[in-house]
Amino acid sequence: MIANRAIQASRGYATAAATSVKIPAVIHGIEGRYATALFTAASKKQALDVVDADLKTVKRVIEKDAKLREYLENPTINRIEKKDGVKQLLSAGKYSDLTKNFFDTLAENGRLYDTVKIINSYGSLMAANRGEVQVTITSAKELDAKDVAKVKGFLAKSSFITAKQTLIVSNKVNPSILGGLVVEFGDKTIDLSVSSKINKLNQLLHEAI
């Protein structure tokens, strides 16, 4: 019910079923529904990049102001008060009417506490629209550029990635995996970590006893 309300109550935003706009990726959750509705509306108005820039600016403002983020995420504050507060926030910059209306909708629906998640989801849609694939390589120690290039080259030649897609690779360090790599991209995970192999071995030993 909440998810339907997220779409139906949006001003000028269409449901995915009722539009010819091609959605480049499926983002789950309430934040995904809102982000997809905004992407659809922005695409129809040829304002995808404009809205993307607006949202990035809003996110930077929120990240720099802890009190503002607390204000947005506080569920005890009246919706009308929050709506006025957001209008004041947006009046301080040059934001598109589409962005302003969207934040009005979030305020009316009491979803401002999901602002950062929605912005991140919209960013994921934009990345997918540009053909970018976010790849996270987790290793026990930081990888050098040569090793990152090897993994990137392997994925680029695999059936998982098309010729039109661009890999955006980041390296995350997690000593608990002990060694090896965990590669995550899209909804796929390739777990080649030592800890995973040990867990599988332990499971086999447990089943054998």
196: region left, alpha or beta (phi > 0 left; psi from -120 to 50 alpha): alpha
**Is 95 found in the same domain as 8?**
yes
* Domain with 58 in it: 2-128
**Which of 138, 139, 209, 124 has its CA nearest to residue 179?**
139
**Is 124 found in the same domain as 53?**
yes
* pLDDT of 17: 40
Res. 11 pLDDT band, cuts 50 70 90 = very low
Whether the per-residue pLDDT at 8 is higher than 80: the answer is no
Residue ending a domain, among 128, 149, 171, is 128
Residues 6+ apart with CB under 8 A from 78: none
Instruction: Decide: 182 and 135 in contact? Cβ < 8 Å.
Output: no
Tens of pLDDT, residues 96-116: 999 999 999 999 898 999 999
* pLDDT of 3: 42
**Is 77 found in the same domain as 7?**
yes
Residue ending a domain, among 70, 102, 128, is 128
**Is 32 found in the same domain as 10?**
yes
User: Looking at residue 67, which CATH number applies to its domain?
Assistant: 1.10.520.20
* pLDDT of 101: 93
Q: Give the residue-averaged pLDDT of 133-147.
A: 92
Res. 95 pLDDT band, cuts 50 70 90 = very high
Q: Which helix (H) or strand (E) holds 52?
A: helix 48-64
**Is 122 found in the same domain as 136?**
no
The total number of structural domains that make up the chain:
2
**Is 147 found in the same domain as 124?**
no
**Is 87 found in the same domain as 35?**
yes
pTM (2 d.p.): 0.68
Backbone angles phi, psi at 3, to 5 degrees: -65, -40
**Is 165 found in the same domain as 197?**
yes
* pLDDT of 209: 65
Tens of pLDDT, residues 30-51: 999 999 999 999 999 999 999 9
